[in-house]
């Protein structure tokens, strides 16, 4: 059951990212990305991270993607941008990406088997996570709230129209 | 149950796909979405390793990554809107102010 769920979610997730790459329309790309992020939430759930899975769905697939879609609505391209005419850039990026894939695979090659399997003792109860956030990681947590305020104020100041004098 | 290594493999694949998307796409918004894909691939690796190590620290880091990504998205999209107002375009190759 778990293996089946993993392959289903992994396929949907990779398919969503491929859809993002192949689709011309930005709004379609954004919706494909929502699919991929929601499936990643499911994968987090398989790894005992129930709270992070909920946060992923609510904040990433919900809030952040709504922000993206709002901006796509405001920018409003009539039709998508055609892919690059210059073939060598696509070839170069594909070559570099395959190089990166091989490099990363070589880096983790020996260690993957030693990681063990899912299941067994559950580690990620929201209670424990919350206790950790408000004890060991209290300062980072508070600093994050300052960061969010700064980002919000910064975004508002950036896009505010200048008043005429 | 599922070997944790598979999750790491999926995370590597997603990261590489994000890099490809970043290079192939030509409008700023989709390039920005590719960055989100790469961030999520890293998150998946963090959570898989948290499970393998039996420690919650990886999940706490992912929590912070998600909040920082939210802040980053707000500021980044504001900058994209600003660029669009000035140039009437969001193609990456139209941003050539610093080209000699």
Q: What is the DSSP string of A91-142?
A: HHHHHHHHHHHHHHHHHHTTTGGGG-BS-SS----HHHHHHHHHTTTHHHHH
Tell which B residues from 2 to 31 touch A, by Cβ distance under 8 Å: 2-10, 12-21, 23-27, 29-30
Query: How far apart are the C-alpha atoms of B39 and B33, rounded to whole Å?
Result: 10
pLDDT digits (tens, 9 = 90+) for A12-48: 999 999 999 998 888 899 999 999 999 999 999 988 8
Q: Which of A10-24, A56-70, A88-102, A146-160 has the lowest mean pLDDT?
A: A88-102
Beta bridge mates, B62: none
Q: What pLDDT digit, counting tens, does each position of B35-50 carry?
A: 999 999 999 999 998 8
* A74 with B81: Cβ contact below 8 A: yes
Complex ipTM, two decimals?
Answer: 0.91
**pLDDT at residue A82 tops 80:** no
Query: How large a percentage of chain A has pLDDT more than 90?
Result: 44
| Contact by Cβ (8 Å): B4, B52 | yes
Contacts of A147 (CB under 8 A, 6+ apart): B67, B68, B71
DSSP-derived secondary structure for A146-161: HHHHHHHHHHHHHHPP
Does residue A85 have a pLDDT over 80?
no
pLDDT for A161 equals 77
Nearest residue to B91 via CA among A66, A159, A83, A21 = A83
Q: Domains in chain B, ordered, with CATH?
A: 4-90 (1.10.287.3510)
- Tokens 């610093």 belong to residue: B98
Q: Give me the phi and psi of A112, to 5 degrees please.
A: -60, -40
Inform me whether the C-beta atom of residue A30 falls under 8 Å from chain B C-beta atoms: yes
Whether the CB of A102 is below 8 Å from some CB of chain B: the reply is no
| Cα→Cα distances B18→A99, B1, B86, Å | 14, 28, 28
pLDDT bucket at B72, cuts 50 / 70 / 90: very high
* Helix (H), strand (E) at residue B36: helix B28-53
Predicted pLDDT at B67: 92
Contacts of A2 in chain B (CB under 8 A): 1-2
Q: pLDDT tens for residues A120-141?
A: 677 778 888 889 889 999 999 9
Query: What whole-number percentage of chain A has pLDDT above 70?
Result: 91
Chain B CB contacts of A108 below 8 Å:
8, 12
Supply φ then ψ for residue A116, to 5 degrees: 80, -165
Averaged confidence pLDDT in chain B: 89
pTM (two decimals): 0.89
In Å, how far from its chain's centre is CA B87? 25
Does residue A50 sit at the B interface (CB-CB below 8 Å)? no
Once rounded to an integer, what is the mean pLDDT over residues A143-160? 91
- Report the DSSP beta bridge partners of residue B7: none
Single out the residue of B49, B23, B50 nearest to residue B34, CA to CA: B23
Query: Quick one: pLDDT band at residue A77, thresholds 50, 70, 90?
Result: low
* Cα–Cα nearest to B18, from A160, A110, A21: A21
């Amino acid at each position: 059951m778990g293996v089946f769920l993993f392959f289903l979610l992994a396929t949907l997730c990779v398919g969503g990212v491929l859809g993002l790459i192949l689709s011309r329309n930005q709004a379609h790309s954004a919706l494909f990305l929502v699919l991929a992020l929601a499936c990643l939430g499911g994968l987090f759930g398989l790894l005992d991270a129930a709270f992070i899975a909920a946060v992923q769905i609510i904040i990433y697939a919900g809030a952040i993607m709504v922000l993206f879609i709002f901006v796509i609505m405001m920018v409003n391209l009539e039709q998508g941008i055609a892919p690059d005419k210059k073939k060598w850039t696509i070839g170069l990026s594909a070559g570099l990406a395959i190089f990166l894939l091989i490099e990363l695979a070589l880096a983790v090659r020996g260690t993957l088997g030693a990681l063990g399997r899912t299941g067994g003792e559950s580690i990620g109860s929201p209670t424990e996570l919350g206790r950790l956030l408000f004890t060991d990681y209290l300062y980072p947590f508070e600093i994050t709230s300052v960061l969010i305020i700064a980002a919000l104020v910064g975004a508002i100041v950036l896009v505010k129209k200048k008043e005429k004098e | 149950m599922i070997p944790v290594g598979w999750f790491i493999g999926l995370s590597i694949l997603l990261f590489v796909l994000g890099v490809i998307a970043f290079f192939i796409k030509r409008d700023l918004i989709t390039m920005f979405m590719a960055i989100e894909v790469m961030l999520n691939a890293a998150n998946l690796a963090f959570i898989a390793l948290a499970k393998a190590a039996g420690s919650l620290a990886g999940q706490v880091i992912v929590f912070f990554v998600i909040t920082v990504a939210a802040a980053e998205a707000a500021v980044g999209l504001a900058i994209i809107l600003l660029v669009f107002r000035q140039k009437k375009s969001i193609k990456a190759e139209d941003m050539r102010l610093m080209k000699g």
